[in-house]
Amino acid sequence: MATEGLDAEIEKQLEPADKTELEGASSVPAPLLHKKKHKKISRQSSRENVVTTSFFQSPRSWKNSRRSRNGYGRGLPKKGGAGGKGVWGAPGSELLEAYEDVNDPNYDSENLSNGDIELKMVVPQVSDEEIRKKVGPIILEYFENGDTHEAAVSVEDCIPYNRRDLFVQFLIEIAMDHKPSHREMTSVLISDLFGHVIVESDITKAFENLLANVNDLILDIPDAPTVIGNFIARAIADDCIPPKFLITMKEKSENEVFVETLARADTLLSMKHGLVRLHNVWGVGGALRPVKYLTRQMSLLLQEYISSRDIEEASRCLRALEVPHFHHELVYEAVVMALEANNIDKEEALCRLLKAFDAAVLLTTDQMERGFFRVFDDLSDISMDVPLAYIILDRFVDRCYKEGFLTENVTKKLPPRGRKRYVSEGDQHFIKSNRLF
C-alpha cells in the first residue's frame, strides 16, 4: 500500500514535464523524438529509478542500512553469515558437521554413527624396576607411621592390579633388611591388605619367586631361609594362603636351601599351639617387653663389652632393643658398674663407651643426664655396699666431663662426699684433746 501511494505521487510530479515534451514533439527530429520517448518510457517503467528517488527522500537513518539498494534483498548477511574471509560459518553449523577429526582433542568416538566400535581395557606395561621404585617409598612410610589404610590407598593408586604379586615380593625383601619389629609390621600389612587389595594368588606367586631366588638372597641376608620360612608360616597362620602350599612347593624343591626354608615353615606350624605362637614369631619388640627384661639385656650388654671392648657390637645390641626412651637405664647401669668395679681400667672403658654412644646419638643429652641423676638419688643406698662410692663417682664424673660429653649441669648437682669418718668416735675426742697441747 505504501508503494502504490509513492508511485502515484511521483507520477503527479512528473506529469507537467511530460505534457510539454509531447507538445513539442512535432518540432523535434525523429531520432531525438524517439530518444525522448525512450527516456520517458524509462522513467515511467523503471523501478530502479523509483527506488533510487525514494532512497534519497528517505530518512537519514537509512544511510547505514544493510538493506539492498536494488530493492530485491532483505538486508540479511551473505550466505547466512557463512561467507567472507575469516568467518567461522553460519550459526549452528558446527552442530550439523558430519566430519570428525580423530586427532581432535575433543573427538568423541561415541558420536560416530557406525556400531562396530569395540572398547577394550588397556593395562599399561610397567617394568619390574619401576614397580620396585614405587614400592620402596610406600613401605618406608608405612614403617614410620604404621597406617595400613594409607598404605592400601597408595598401593591401589600406584601398583597395577595384575602386578600386585611383585608388590608382596618386594615388601618381604625390604622387610628382610630391617628389624624384627618391621617384619612384624610387614606380616600385619599382608594380613590387612588380603581380600581387597591383594589376593591369594598374589601372595602365593610372591613366595614362589622368593623361594626361587633364595640362593641370591642368602648372599646379602645369611638368615634368609629362616626369615622366609617365618613369613610363610605366619601367612598360613593368618589364613592368607592355604596349608597345602607347603605340600605343593615340596614337590618342586630344587636345592638344599629351598628345602631348608620349607622345613622351617613346617616346623613352626607343627609345634603345639603353633598357630597361636606364630603371632609372636618375630618376638615382642620395643616397649612391649617388660622393664626387668630390658634391664637384664642392658646389663649383659655392658658385661660383654667389658670382656670384648667391641663398641660396634655394643651399639648394634643397643639398637636391637629398640627402646630409645629407656636408654637412661644403660647410663645408670654403666655408672653403677664403674662404682662397683673400683678399677681405673674399667672406668676408662665405660667412659669410652658412653662417649661413643653420645657421638653416634644413641644417647641424647637428656638420657645421659637422667641416668647420672638417678645415680645421684640412689647414691646413699649404693654407698652402703660400696663405701668409696662418693670418691669413685667424683672421679668418674670428672673423667666424663673432661671427655666433653657430660654437661656442667651434671657436675653442679654432684652430691658432696660427706663428713670423713674416723676409726671410732672415741678417737675423734682423743685427737681434739691432743691438739690443745
Kindly report the average pLDDT of the chain as a whole number. 76
Residue 184: the pLDDT is 87
Tell me whether residue 356 is in a domain: yes
Q: Is the pTM of this model over 0.75?
A: no
**pLDDT grade for 61, boundaries at 50, 70 and 90:** low
Mean pLDDT across 312-317: 89
Q: What is the pLDDT of residues 90-99, one digit of tens each?
A: 777 767 655 6
Same domain, 137 and 259: yes
Domain around 364? 287-412
Domain limit, last residue, from 220, 251, 280? 280
pLDDT digits (tens, 9 = 90+) for 250-288: 887 777 888 888 888 888 888 776 566 677 777 666 556
Q: Are residues 270 and 311 in the same domain?
A: no
- The verdict on 295 and 406 lying in the same domain is yes
Kindly state whether residue 30 falls inside one of the protein's structural domains.
yes
Whether 420 is in a domain gets the answer no
Clarify whether residues 239 and 137 are in a common domain. Answer: yes
Measured at the CA of 435, the angle between CA 429 and CA 437, to 5 degrees, comes to: 120
Question: Using CA atoms, how far apart are residues 266 and 260, in angstroms rounded to an integer?
Answer: 10
Tens-digit pLDDT profile for residues 332-342: 999 999 999 88
What does the pLDDT look like over 199-218, one tens digit per residue? 999 999 999 999 988 888 88
Q: Same structural domain for residues 148 and 262?
A: yes
Helix axes 164-176, 180-193, angle to 10 degrees: 160
In this structure, are 234 and 328 located in the same domain? Answer: no
Same domain, 269 and 294: no
**What's the confidence (pLDDT) of residue 259?**
86
If you average pLDDT over residues 137-163, what whole number do you get?
89
- Distance from chain centroid for Cα 281: 30
pLDDT at 413: 86
Q: Which of the pair, 370 or 253, is modelled with greater confidence?
A: 370
Q: Does residue 428 fall inside a structural domain?
A: no
Query: Does 304 reside within a domain?
Result: yes
Q: Given this model, what pLDDT does residue 42 score?
A: 44
What is the average per-residue pLDDT within 381-391?
Answer: 88
Q: What is the pLDDT of residue 109?
A: 62
pLDDT grade, residue 49 (50/70/90)? very low
Backbone angles phi, psi at 422, to 5 degrees: -95, 175
Same domain, 196 and 302: no
Overall domain count for the chain: 3
Q: Are residues 150 and 215 in the same domain?
A: yes
- Please check whether residue 124 lies inside any domain of the structure: no
- Residue 434: inside a domain, yes or no? no
Q: Determine whether 395 is exposed, middle or buried from the number of CB atoms within 10 Å of its CB (0-12, 13-18, 19+).
A: middle
Identify whether residues 220 and 273 lie together within a single domain. yes
Please tell me which residue, 23 or 234, carries the higher pLDDT value. 234
What would the mean pLDDT of 346-352 be, rounded to a whole number?
A: 91
Is residue 152 in a domain?
Answer: yes
Whether residue 317 sits in one domain with residue 177: no
CATH of the domain at 373: 1.25.40.180
Pair (200, 291) in one structural domain:
no
Last residue of a domain, one of 280, 310, 341: 280
